[in-house]
Amino acid sequence: MMLITGTSGQLSSLIVAKAKELGLNFITASRSLNADRQMDFDHIETIDFTGVDTLFLTSAGYAEDDIVIRRHNNVITAASTQGVKHIVYTSLSYASDHLGFALAHRWTERRLQESGMAWTILRNGLYAELIGSLASSYEGRITAPFGNEEISAVSREDLADAAVAVLKDTIAHNNKVYELSGVKSFSVPDLAQRISVRYEPTDLSTERSRLETLQLLPFQVPMLMSIYASSMAGFLKTNSSDLTSLVPRPRDALATACTTATKET
């Protein structure tokens, strides 16, 4: 039996919908009462993988690094003692190593590779939807400080398709790492031109000051700032992606980002 975690999230809910369309046999797990099994990764006693052979572990990354690492360790420890044979994990692309939330992903990859179980690591690029949301315009201007470099963002739909391609035949993907950045990069100036607004970025200090006035969790400000700084420095573009090996016809990531930017305006 297959179990998919985090199914109240945007990516996992897409994966669940696509898995249902293909008739895959699976159950779901999350804190939500709508899941087949209610689990809280902060409490290892709630983690029940009875009868589960394949575990799709959606990163529980919405927290400080020590909390995320503890959650993932709880899951992997429980899986290894409860008979799970294969874990598929949604990690972060190599091109994103300069981001403030990369560390917990790399720790989890190492923990999986040392676990004794089979594993598959899906190194997802930044969502095109996220870039579009952060680059939404106000009064005809985009002011987010992305710089002028290109970003290898990828649509959430493509990442869900890639995940389901692996879940259809997990044995064929044993102990493989897939870099799933977008295959056609774009810059925020490209996005601004496409949606006919001006791109007038502020500097990082100005953006940090703005973010600190919002109702964000403490870890979110440095997380967002790391995205802007990494983009400005050109570290969010990659010339190598495995996306087409799992998704032969990827979506237009720029179009996806533009749609989100327009909705957020």
Calpha distance 13→165 (Å, rounded)? 16
Q: What is the CATH number of domain 2-264?
A: 3.40.50.720
Per DSSP, 127 falls in state B
What pLDDT shows up at residue 265?
Answer: 61
The string of DSSP codes covering 231-247 is HHTTTT--S---HHHH-
What pLDDT shows up at residue 256?
Answer: 97
Q: Where are the alpha helices (H) located in the chain, listed in sequence order?
A: 10-21, 65-81, 102-113, 128-134, 156-167, 188-194, 204-211, 220-232, 243-246, 253-264
What are the pLDDT digits (tens) for 6-60?
Answer: 888 899 999 999 999 999 999 999 998 889 999 999 999 999 999 999 999 999 8
What pLDDT shows up at residue 54?
Answer: 98
Whole-model pTM: value is 0.95
Calpha distance 37→55 (Å, rounded)? 13
Q: SS3 of 30, please?
A: strand
Kindly state the average pLDDT of the residues 96-109. 96
Classify residue 116 by burial, with Cβ atoms within 10 Å: 0-12, 13-18, 19+: exposed
What pLDDT shows up at residue 160?
Answer: 98
Contacts with 217 (C-beta within 8 Å, 6 or more apart), sequence order: none
Backbone angles phi, psi at 174, to 5 degrees: -55, 130
Calpha distance 214→195 (Å, rounded)? 26
Calpha distance 245→123 (Å, rounded)? 14
Judge whether residue 61 has pLDDT over 80: no
pLDDT band, residue 100 (cuts 50/70/90)? very high
Backbone angles phi, psi at 27, to 5 degrees: -125, 170
Task: Tell me the domain boundaries of the chain.
Answer: 2-264
| Rounded alpha-carbon distances, angstroms, from residue 255 to 36, 62, 227 | 35, 27, 20
What pLDDT shows up at residue 6?
Answer: 87
For 28, left (φ over 0), alpha (ψ -120 to 50), or beta? beta
Kindly state the average pLDDT of the residues 94-122. 96
Query: Is the pLDDT higher at 262 or at 175?
Result: 175
Q: Which one, of 229, 5, 250, lies nearest residue 100 by Cα?
A: 229
DSSP bridge partners of 130? none
Computed over every residue of the chain, the mean pLDDT equals: 96
What are the pLDDT digits (tens) for 190-221?
Answer: 999 999 999 999 999 999 999 999 999 999 99
Contacts with 205 (C-beta within 8 Å, 6 or more apart), sequence order: none
What are the pLDDT digits (tens) for 212-245?
Answer: 999 999 999 999 999 999 999 999 999 999 999 9
Calpha distance 103→64 (Å, rounded)? 10
Calpha distance 18→38 (Å, rounded)? 21
